[in-house]
Amino acid sequence: MKIKKVGVVGAGQMGSGIAHVSALSGYEVLLHDLGAEQIDNGIATITGNLARQAGSGKISEKEMREAQDRLGGAPDMEDLASCDLVIEAASENEAIKRQVFSQLCPILNPGGLIATNTSSISITRLASATDRPGQFIGIHFMNPVPVMQLVELVRGIATEDTTFDLSKAFVESLGKTTAVSEDFPGFMVNRILLPMINEAIYTLYEGVGNVRSIDAAMRLGANHPMGPLQLADFIGLDTCLSIMQVLHDGLADSKYRPCPLLVKYVEAGWLGKKSGRGFYDYRGDEPVPTR
């Protein structure tokens, strides 16, 4: 088997990024979401990002046009039936992901592989919700997908060697570097990264420092490219909370308890950059700290 046609379920930031790099690397790509508007917005985002890459000389005009030609929308789940690989990039919510698989499995060709872009949820558990656990794997891209070089590959207990080998070859064909993680909550990157972000939020919650000071401390004191609170806003505070809940529930250790301030921001709908407010307010010309 060779992967030639890739389906992506979820046209948001992660899904559109995965579709972008796949189309640019020579794969025929179909992008699916709940409605035509979401699909159109996802394709428009990809088209704009490809144009920016061409404008800056990172890719040629020819590469841009060919990638755009290889990209299409899939308004109905049935449109993904002939895909060799379908990557689920829906919200970091297990119930939503299971619903996607329940709709996908009956129509996907028997040889088709299924991957999830989950950043924390058990691959083994998600695979059990499908009709092909041996052909199921975690392919966790980092955000933003066109820029970040690492992809975590996570095998479930039933993932077959052929599935792993094909997935690894696919990721490497995108110009990415793979890191293989065991199937534990948060895998590697988020097992380390999200507790650091959560601790930064506790530092804010307890009044040790304000938003600007905490971010400056980690940028200038630890040489991080972005402060942890700004990074949380870019990830999405709802996603940060979901990952911390997975870590807390899965590892049963109080050190992973989500900060109450993170919970409060999510309850307020202040989810970060995508909603206009998080630890910074993005509604003006310049981001302004909210605390």
Q: Which residues are catalytic?
A: 119, 140, 152, 190
- Distance in angstroms (rounded) separating the CA atoms of residues 80 and 78: 5
- Beta strand ranges found along 112-176 (DSSP E): 113-116, 136-141, 150-155
Buried/exposed 214-233: b ≥16 CB within 10 Å, e otherwise? bbebbeeeeeeeebbbbbbb
Taking CA 246 as the corner, what is the angle to CA 139 and CA 174, rounded to the nearest 5 degrees? 15
- Distance in angstroms (rounded) separating the CA atoms of residues 60 and 227: 33
CB count, 10 Å around CB of 242?
Answer: 22
* Cα–Cα separations (whole angstroms), residue 90 to 158, 167, 227: 22, 19, 26
Helix crossing, 228-235 with 189-205: angle to 10°?
A: 120
Q: Which residues is 179 bridged to in the sheet?
A: 152
Provide the sign of the torsion angle of the four alpha carbons 204, 209, 211, 217, taken in this order: negative
* Cα–Cα separations (whole angstroms), residue 252 to 124, 244, 247, 255, 257: 19, 11, 8, 9, 9
- Find out whether the peptide bond into 144 is cis, omega within 30 degrees of 0: yes
- Distance in angstroms (rounded) separating the CA atoms of residues 119 and 67: 27
